[in-house]
Structure 1
């Protein structure tokens, strides 16, 4: 009986441990390192990612626009970086065309005012896979996650992943906003140019900036992969959103800039557009403060209006 009691006690402890691990399995992860000597910078982190085989689509200092637009910042350092790997895109794009939701992947690099640490936030591989419709045990996703860790450890040798001080909301939402347009006329290139010109022209009036642009199809065709007529990813940012949300959640840079893809498969006449919407921010980061939710929902509404406008 004593042996049986011990057995059940061990089982209960293991179960409790697995439940705790599941609760801590956030969609966003943050890597933190001491940086009292200020030797680790966004530039040195960028070099480490390049050394690990990543393409850097952007690495923007957000303190400049924060000061310009709001006359203050909560950070000594706040950069939004956008990175991707050609090999991962090539391996997944044909079977999983939604790779553009996180290809490129966004990161925030930050130090709060007066702190002696530097942090990098990014989307966790399991979350990236789930949102893009790729199995979490896919070898290319696993390899991608390991390369991210390799780059972070090279840039921040004494760093480690921390446990975020909240649980995800796990609410029931469609976290991807998708729309589709039928090709206008018989010329796909002309149709693409018209849609993209309309899309880009609507960004600034609604307060968005294009932080980066990635032509994934260039890499595909360079490797003789003619799956698409075009596959473009826009890295879109609304400065007012990241300024407000980052006050309490600087790790929000894992979703900002937002990757909005636009592609058309060869032989088809449908243009697909999609992006991870703000409900994913609210859910993954457990955002509860009204100022953050207000700016996020406003941005969502404005982006949907842009898509509705160019669809006409």
Structure 2
């Protein structure tokens, strides 16, 4: 079986972004409030399926004996209906199924913040030259939910231009497979991925059989034999990046996609690179960058070994 690595490069669509890739909501908040849960309920009420809403302070305190935050949640969700249409049109958009919402409030700070990618940023990452209206609709639904949960919040686009990306925004591996053996190969890959994560310090926080979601709508022609996504995070990465750029939590956990289109003789695996964190969130701290690059290299090694 042959491995091909395809890169979607930042430089092809840099013109999409003049004002930053992250939208930040900020609102006065008592850190003992249930606002993270209110945000979750509001997203669900506005058409999103919640994948996870994970409180991070407890694992921070267990592994690192401290946290810089009174509130830190990683919430992941996808728009149930619109995501079907998006992924059928752009299979690599599965890296946003689910998409991330970083929820954080520093110790002693009066305001809680929510960080989420703009539609323009998502278009850039999956290699589009313009923003598809589906992405704008997903963005509008997310903004409506956040505005409903935090009606007094101020909203700002990061006013710093993204840094130039130093590597691929999405790395995609394709593995040639015979039509009658793809089920077995898929299972072998899934087992290899899950078994290989823990020794490298990764945690598999959520899995999604998105092919079943796509297949639920009979009005959509399902082009996939299967489509799975895996939400993967590395605590040491999130902890170190959050010290200087907590807004990068919009990228965590990372969603990896694995799918096979009907009639094609290949399985595709892809994930968004850490270069997104460093570019969109302007991560420049040396220790944080070192942890990000270690995670990138470890994950590339894992997938490379599995698809050789």
TM-score under structure 1 length normalisation: 0.88
Cα distance change on mapping 1:208 and 1:37 into 2, 3 Å: closer
Relative to structure 1, the CA distance from residue 68 to residue 219 in structure 2 (aligned partners, 3 Å threshold; closer, same or farther) is same
Mapping 1:225-240, distance limit 5 Å? 225-240=221-236
Cα–Cα, structure 1 residues 22 and 105, in superposed 2: closer, same or farther, change >3 Å?
closer
1:94-151, Cα deviation, whole Å (9 max, x unpaired)? 2211111212101111111011211111111111122224464422111111111101
Runs of 4+ in 1 over 6 A off after TM superposition: none
Shift of the alpha carbon at 1:183? Answer: 2.1
Label 1:55 to 1:240 Cα distance change in 2 as closer, same or farther (>3 A): same
Pick from 99, 103, 113: which aligns with 1:109? 103
Post-superposition shift, 1:38? 4.7
Give the whole-Å Cα distance in 2 for the aligned partners of 1:43 and 1:211: 18
Matched, 1:304 2:300: yes
Partner residue of 1:211 out of 201, 205, 209? 205
The structure, 1 or 2, with the larger RCO (C-alpha pairs under 8 Å, 6+ apart) is 2
Provide Cα deviations, 1:201-255, integer angstroms capped at 9, x if missing partner: 1000110001111221111111233311111111110000000000111111111
Q: Give distance in 2, aligned partners of 1:22 and 1:304.
A: 27
In 2, Cα distance between equivalents of 1:184 and 1:267:
10
Between the aligned partners of 1:38 and 1:32, the Cα distance in structure 2 is 16
Deviation at 1:267, TM superposition (A): 1.5
Unaligned runs of 5+ in 2: 1-15
Q: CA 1:307–1:171 in structure 2 vs 1: closer, same or farther (change >3 Å)?
A: closer
Q: Is the 8 A contact 2:126 2:170 kept in 1?
A: no
Residues 39-66 of structure 1 show CA distances to partners (whole Å, capped at 9, x for unaligned) of: 4521111001111110000110111110
Whether 2:184 is the aligned partner of 1:187: answer: no
Name 2:242's counterpart in structure 1: 246
Deviation of residue 282 (structure 1)?
0.8
The Cα of 1:170 is off from its aligned counterpart by: 2.6
Which residue is 1:156 aligned to? 150
> Cα RMSD between the aligned structures?
1.8
Larger of the two Rg values belongs to structure: 1
Q: Is the 8 A contact 2:21 2:157 kept in 1?
A: no
Mapped partners of 2:176, 2:57: distance in 1: 40
Aligned with residue 40 of structure 2, among 38, 46, 49: 46
Moved more, 87-96 or 110-119: 87-96
**Which residues of 2 match residues 211-290 of structure 1 at below 5 A?**
211-224=205-218, 225-290=221-286
Q: Which runs of 5+ in 1 are unaligned?
A: 1-20
Report if the CA contact (8 A) 1:40-1:155 is conserved.
Answer: no
The equivalent position to 1:294 in structure 2, one of 284, 290, 298, is 290
Deviations 1:141-191 (A, max 9, x none): 111111111010111010121353643213463211111112268322111
Q: What TM-score do you get using the length of structure 2 for normalisation?
A: 0.89
Q: Secondary structure at the match of 2:89?
A: coil
